[in-house]
Amino acid sequence: MERNLRNVLVISFGFLLLFTAYGGLQNLQSSLHAEEGLGVASLSALYAALILSSMFLPPILIKKLGCKWTIAGSMCCYIAFSLGNFYASWYTLIPTSVILGLGGAPLWSAKCTYLTIAGNSYAEKAGKNGKDIISQYFGVFFLIFQSSGIWGNLISSLIFSQASNKVELSEENLACCGAYDCTTDTSNTTGSAEPSSSLIYTLLGSYTASGVLAVLLIVVFLDQIKPDQAETEKEILETPSFWSTFLATFQHLKDKRQCLLIPLTMYSGFEQGFLSGDYTKAYVTCALGIHYIGYVMICFSAVNSLSSLLFGKISQFTGRKLLFAL
């Protein structure tokens, strides 16, 4: 197998293992840690840290450590989040969520940089167009990576379905789920009793092991950037100063189109937050039981992927505005 493609596969399966754990655990946060809204608060802290990380950490870490070790180190931040869930409290979950958020931006930036360098390197040797090879590499990556939504959720549902303390939900309690969940004491409206500690630890152990395997895969099998590729890496990482980048962000607001995209982008974020935080807790855990979250989110992931393919084809006939509205 061609070496650059092998490296792409190593990164792809590393991300698959890592996000099999993180994706499944993210969807369970509001249900596993419902008391005082700890689960939702942890996700909020996570994405707040991710915003800060995106502004300045990626170019610094990639320049100092290189792509390979930035990816490996950032993956360890995700493992810390899994470990924080073993003893969930405000003093463990919030700090580990912040750690994950700080590692998120360098992880994705290093991945993109590595795939770009690998694509250009192979294109130069094969005499092909760099953009075409890079697109192929990213296609391979996302083909493998996107399946993590299936495996992570499947693991959680299979483990929690072994619980022996499932209870039937009365019509009276069922009426307090969904849209009416926020007006009642949620501790009395759960369709399934809290999973046993042993099942929770089994799940967290599986997720942690998946994350550790991801790190080992990267450390052992991913090639470091070669000296003859250093110039390419240097060119990619040559970025303006922090303040230049910060001010450039606001200069985009002069463009009316950019301003009109902001509400759409924010809506997308609200939608994802509602799905992984409120929907799973009020509509799935409350009415069906926590062991159904994985199955429901697998359906979401599958339809999401199919819709992406479908609407990508349809957009050339309808235009984007109609699809945005839909």
One-letter-per-residue 3-state SS of 58-101: HHHHHHHHHHHHHHHHHHHHHHHHHHHCCCCCHHHHHHHHHHHH
Q: What is the pLDDT of residue 187?
A: 46
- Res. 325: pLDDT tops 50: yes
pLDDT mean over 269-282: 83
Could you tell me which residues are beta bridge partners of residue 172? none
The C-alpha angle 71, 105, 64, rounded to 5 degrees, equals: 55
Long-range contacts, 55-61 (Cβ 8 Å, 24+): 55/242, 55/245, 55/246, 56/242, 56/245, 57/102, 57/105, 57/106, 58/105, 58/106, 58/109, 58/110, 59/109, 59/237, 59/239, 61/106, 61/110
pLDDT at 179: 80
Per-residue pLDDT tens over the stretch 155-214: 988 888 887 655 666 777 777 888 877 655 544 444 445 678 888 899 999 999 999 999
The average pLDDT across 38-45 equals 87
Residue 51 in contact with residue 98, Cβ under 8 Å? Answer: no
Q: What is the pLDDT of residue 238?
A: 55
Residue 229, pLDDT > 60, answer no
Averaged over 99-118, what is the pLDDT? Answer: 93
**What value does the mean pLDDT of the chain take?**
83
CB atoms within 10 A of CB 132: 11
Distances (CA, A) of 202 to 156, 195, 282, 325: 10, 11, 24, 43
Query: Highest mean pLDDT: which of 157-166, 246-255, 276-285?
Result: 276-285
71-95 pLDDT per residue, tens? 999 999 999 999 999 988 899 999 9
Q: What is the mean pLDDT of residues 241-248?
A: 64
Spell out the domain ranges in the chain. 1-161+196-223+290-324
Q: What's the CATH number for 1-161+196-223+290-324?
A: 1.20.1250.20
Residue-level pLDDT at 73 = 96
Whether the per-residue pLDDT at 221 is higher than 70: the answer is yes
**Residue 246: what pLDDT?**
63
Buried b (16+ CB within 10 A) or exposed e, 35-64: eeebbbbbbbbbeebbeebbeebbbebbee
CA 108, CA 251: separation in Å to the nearest integer? 25
